[in-house]
Amino acid sequence: MRVIADLVVNHTSDRHPWFRSARSSRESPYRDWYVWADEPRREPGLEPVFPDAEQDVWTLDEGSGQYYLHHFYRQQPELDIRNPEVRDEIAKIMGFWMQLGLSGFRVDAVPFLVEPPSDGHGRDQDTHGYLRALRRVLTRRTGDAILLGEVNLPHADQRAYFGGAGGDELTMQFDVVVMQKLYLSLARGDAGPLTEALRGRPDIPTDCQWATFVRNHDELTLDKLTDDERAEVFTAFGDEERMQSFGRGLRRRLPPMLAGDQRRLRLVYSLLFSLPDTPVLFYGEEIGMGENLDLDGYGYRWLRVTRPGERRLL
């Protein structure tokens, strides 16, 4: 068995010592580890990921009088990965965990990591160059380790994140397009949308692969479907507003969506395991775990180890 872990280095908590130091003074050595602006900068695509929770990607830090960037929640200030000191720290984090035996990482929200907004200081964004640098850090330590990327983009745009002909960036990517078309096929009882998505995959480097999945730990996003297609999936699997997320996805797990029908569940997982490339399971799928829609967020909570051999849902 090999183990990979989440590499979430887009941001830190606003309670992290780095950010506490950064906001304490404009002269802090950690100030430039984050993205600051005297006034909110408006750029194409610079919008909140969670529009129901955040109205803007900039929040005023009243103590220092500047705004800090957060693509996600305001309590998650964005790290500035153009800063060489930040890059060095990320490399140290990766090295620490690989020394303990990890075989790679799932890289969270990759486009936000490697394509930050302009910083106003003229620093080179070096978008895909940084992803190649992360891959080199990985393979220098363990030649067969992987970077599994979360890149929620159309197939044509995902291709660039594998790298050049030799596949020198992400080793694998979640195939979000195939996942969304899978649910449309299930809603219609027609394999056509899924077949179309599989045939529409671009050619990728020989040593790279797609990761296929039924559920991931975020909402079941349906943003690559048309409005009418999304409405079909909502009608079939989540027709109540509380089952939906941001108007673009579902908060649900698969067993309740299929009303616990064992035949349909076996059908979906048989299909997943027969698709090309590598199937990925989310924790709880192996036991048919459902959801609790009374919880905030995605309708489930994380597992926490309380002591050796014991786990419980938070």
Which residues are tagged catalytic?
Answer: 108, 150
Query: From CA 226, how far away is CA 168, in angstroms rounded?
Result: 33
3-state secondary structure of 294: coil
Cβ–Cβ under 8 Å, residues 59 and 40: no
Angle at 235 between CA 232 and CA 238, to 5 degrees: 120
- Bridge-partner residues for 59, per DSSP? 68
- Bridge-partner residues for 25, per DSSP? none
Q: Where are the alpha helices (DSSP H) in the chain?
A: 17-24, 84-99, 110-114, 127-141, 155-158, 176-188, 192-199, 227-237, 254-257, 262-274
Cβ–Cβ under 8 Å, residues 6 and 102: no
**Closest to 303 measured CA to CA, from 313, 293, 291:** 313
3-state secondary structure 71-93: CCCCCCCEECCCCHHHHHHHHHH
Other beta carbons less than 10 A from residue 137's beta carbon? 19
3-state secondary structure of 300: coil
Cβ–Cβ under 8 Å, residues 299 and 293: yes
